[in-house]
Structure 1
Amino acid sequence: MKRRQLLQASASLVGSLAVGGQWAVAQTAPFPGGSLEFTSQSLQLTWLHHSCVLFEGEGKRFLVNPFRPGGCTAGYPAPSVNADLVLLSSRLLDEGALDVVPGNPRVLFQPGDYVIDGIRVQGVRMPRGPRFGLNVGWRWRMAGIDIVHLGGALQPIGREQSILLARPDLLLVPVGGGPKNYDPAGAKAAIEALQPKLVIPTMYRTAAEASQCELQPLEAFLRLFPAAAAQPALSNPLLLSAQALPSQGIAILFFEE
């Protein structure tokens, strides 16, 4: 693999729908033929399993938490996709495997405040304990959408994290528990603390994962919310619009594995 720059320190359109006082995500039918037209007002999100997501907008491709198949990711294909920037929550192989990413993208893996090709990227320190070390939560704005990806967060949201990460448009949060991630109750508490508009859960157990995986299934998290607040994504990738996000309440959009 080429040397990398290590920098220290859906096809559906998503809208909002009020249902019984709760806000859920309303999605249009896929674009004809599956083709997408990108503008400065659109963000394409591709779910690549576990906590790995590719974000595309404003002519940029940001990849978060590529993994090497093994353990809880044993049943998933390696996310071998091109990216301009790779954001790592840690250097653990299920959220920080650079060897699966082709080319020579820039890489951020430490807390700090960065500007990458005109986009401000904030890495926020989120301690996870001596066994698994530091987790980095990431925040940036792309195509008019304020994005927070909590990586493998475990500890409750503290004052510093609240100041730096509160009220995003889109929050990606681990929900499956195990020794180094929020369990469903912890994920719900983090959501309540940060008050996003739209939540996408990550790091939950699926049929593709190894039998020894300690993660809980997604249903354990979804049961903590009103049924009207959550619905599955109609496609992968998704095309998101800032103008169509919920204007109040919290909606949950999840990918069915």
Structure 2
Amino acid sequence: MSTRVRWLGHSCLLFESDGRHVLVDPFLTGNPKAADSADTVPADLILISHGHGDHIGDAVAIAKRTGAPVVANYEIGEWLKEPGQGLTDVHGMQHGGGRLFEGIARVKLTVAFHGSVLPDGTYGGNPCGFLITFPDGTKVYDAADTALFSDMRLIGEEGIDLAILPIGDYYTMGPDDALRAVTMIAPKSVLPIHFNTFDAIAQDGKAWADRVRRETQAEPVELEPGQWFDIPRRPG
């Protein structure tokens, strides 16, 4: 079975590869678009891009229920180990660093331009995106919450099968900058996230997908929250 991704609404993503699950930014409780719950979503590995409540979400509760290790930046990693959160299997990494989680995926932290403060007001360090390489070789770049930046072109040199980009504007890239990001990354497919959850980030996802088809070589992925997509591999 190929690696596949399920959009759970907002920026929450569930990847399945070789029977293992990688859960990203698990904001489910309080998410009006959530397509799963913290009580049922599977996880063998949890990734947190930054400290905002709409991304760290239910990570602590899910990690305690499933026993999944958690990957975040160093500052969030230390916060997760404090008594108030009480996690122990935490990997507080730094940008540019990666780690192989045997049988699940290799995860590398990428730069992201955004803010990061934890729900209790604690400084959450620098936000990040993720370059995820699955056991079958599928490469996914989840930009998470970010502005456009020119080094996306370097990330694209990795040979990205699926790019995941915010298009909501206001807090992140909007549709125009996200389209420029597609051009720089040159992925085989692209999935938009972080839009239509709240009024401030309302966007026409279909209109953006049409522009991707017309103006780039990538194939847009149009999902409703809860739907799956089998990630096609690039040739070679």
| TM-score computed with the length of structure 2 as normaliser | 0.70
Residue 34 of structure 2: which of 50, 73, 76 is its match?
76
Give the match's secondary structure for 1:49.
coil
Which amino acid is the alignment partner of residue 153 of structure 1? T
User: Take 2:211 and 2:11, find their aligned partners in 1: how far apart are those partners?
Assistant: 21
Aligned to 2:88: none
Residue 127 of structure 1 corresponds to 113
**Residues 176-204 of structure 1 deviation map (CA, whole Å, 9 limit, x = unaligned):** 1122x110011011111111111111111
Whether the 8 Å contact between 1:54 and 1:61 is mirrored in structure 2 is: yes
**Sequence identity, in percent?**
23
Aligned to 1:218: 205
Aligned partners of 2:209 and 2:222 also within 8 Å = no
C-alpha distance 135-165 of structure 1, shift in aligned 2 (>3 A):
farther
- Computing the radius of gyration from Cα coordinates, the structure with the larger value is 1
Q: Match of 1:29?
A: none
Question: CA RMSD of the aligned region, Å?
Answer: 3.0
The offset of 1:48, in angstroms, is: 0.8
Q: Give 5+ residue unaligned stretches, structure 2.
A: 74-94, 118-123
Which residue number in structure 2 is paired with residue 114 of structure 1? 99
Offset, 1:144: 2.5
Select the residue among 194, 199, 210 that pairs with 2:190. 199
Q: Distance in 2 between the 1:231 and 1:120 partners?
A: 23
Report the CA distance shift for 1:224/1:125 in structure 2 as closer, same or farther (over 3 A): same
Q: Which residue of 2 aligns with 1:86?
A: 46
Q: Does the 8 Å contact 2:108/2:130 carry over to 1?
A: yes
> Could you tell me which residue of structure 1 aligns to residue 84 of structure 2?
none
Whole-Å Cα distance in 2 between the matches of residues 60 and 130 of structure 1?
29
- From the superposition, tell whether residues 129 and 75 of structure 1 become closer, same or farther in structure 2 (CA, over 3 Å): closer
CA distance in 1 between partners of 2:128 and 2:214 (Å): 31
Number of residues of Structure 1 aligned to a counterpart in Structure 2? 196
Q: Distance in 1 between matches of 2:102 and 2:10?
A: 27
Report the CA distance shift for 1:152/1:202 in structure 2 as closer, same or farther (over 3 A): same
| C-alpha distance in structure 1 between counterparts of 2:116 and 2:51, whole Å | 14
Structure 1, gaps ≥5 residues long:
1-37, 248-257
Per the alignment, residue 47 of structure 1 pairs with 7
SS in 2 for 1:190: helix
Change in Cα spacing, 1:195 to 1:79, as seen in structure 2 (3 Å) is farther
Kindly indicate which of the two structures has a greater share of residues assigned to strand: 1
- Tell me the alpha carbon deviations over residues 6-25 of structure 1, each in whole angstroms, 9 at most, x when there is no partner: xxxxxxxxxxxxxxxxxxxx
Higher relative contact order (CA 8 A, sep 6+): 1
**Which residue of structure 1 lines up, in the alignment, with residue 67 of structure 2?**
104
In structure 2, what is the Cα distance between the partners aligned to 1:77 and 1:232? Answer: 15
TM-score computed with the length of structure 1 as normaliser: 0.65
